[in-house]
Chains A and B, each alone.
Chain A
Amino acid sequence: MDNGVDITSQLAGGTPSNTYTVTNKVADASYGFEFNSSTGYYVSTNDGVSKSASVARLNLNFESDCLVTITYINYAEANYDYGMFGKLDTEVATDGLTAGSNGSSPSDSLSNY
């Protein structure tokens, strides 16, 4: 009688895994973001410090194409303080904002954001 073959060794297991980690403060940044376990939010830590920046990095490791949604609350003084999300795979400047003709702006290109 033909009992067939054991195919187990011929198969690679696994299901898609899409994960992320957070670097709370990127290298060279003076401030980072702290995780608030009660709210689940990462919160900037440079409050009360003029000409400063908090910079964190969201590291993504996906086995499939994904749509990532980030929820944020941005308490900021219009034209003077900014919350900014960099473009994918684009390093942003880690220093604070510099004065521009209309309030302040990042020291690197706006096209990075």
Chain B
Amino acid sequence: MCTNSSSAQTVTYTVSAGEHFIDIKYGKDDASNDNSDSLQWKVTSIEATSAGGNYTYTLNNIQQKHSLIFVFGDVDYYFIEASGNNCKLYSDGQVVKLDGDSYRLVIVPDDVSAVVTLMDNNVDKTSSLEYE
């Protein structure tokens, strides 16, 4: 039940990824009560939380050096899945040098709604990121 008040109140829901619904109701009693009271509501914010969100960037059959620079706000962590022995992600500026291997960068940002950018060899590849 909502708090009866003419001033604005808030209610929050923690919602997992996927499709969901919330029913909202304003009920009036069965007594003689014909007042013009009402319920007003609106969604004021949807804030993405960190759980489950990550971005991936995949390079297959790599034939040249790739320099990757990514900005994901505060990054919780990142890791790579790679074939071969030459795939490495260096800590100094996220520069990777590979030779004939495949490479998949997985980045888990602290806040998935943060500004995201990814440069690959100085080309903006932000729109090529895959979100999981």
Contact = CB atoms under 8 A, between A and B. Distances in A.
A108 to B, nearest CB: 10
Given A4-B62, A16-B113, A113-B1, A81 B21 contact: no
Contacts of A103: 29
B122 interface: no
Interface residues of B, number: 72
A53 B25 contact: yes
B29 A75 contact: no
A74 B2 contact: yes
Interface string B26-44: 1111111111111111111
A81 B13 CA distance: 23
Contacts of B12: 67-70
A84 B60 contact: no
Say what secondary structure dominates the interface of chain B. Answer: strand
Contacts of B64: 2-5
A64 B27 contact: no
Contacts of A80: 28-29, 31, 33
A92 B9 contact: no
B60 A10 contact: yes
Contacts of A52: 27-28
B129 interface: yes
A8 interface: yes
Given A5-B60, A82-B26, 15 more contacts: A5-B61, A11-B57, A16-B53, A42-B24, A42-B42, A53-B28, A54-B39, A64-B52, A64-B112, A71-B41, A72-B2, A76-B39, A85-B2, A85-B24, A106-B25
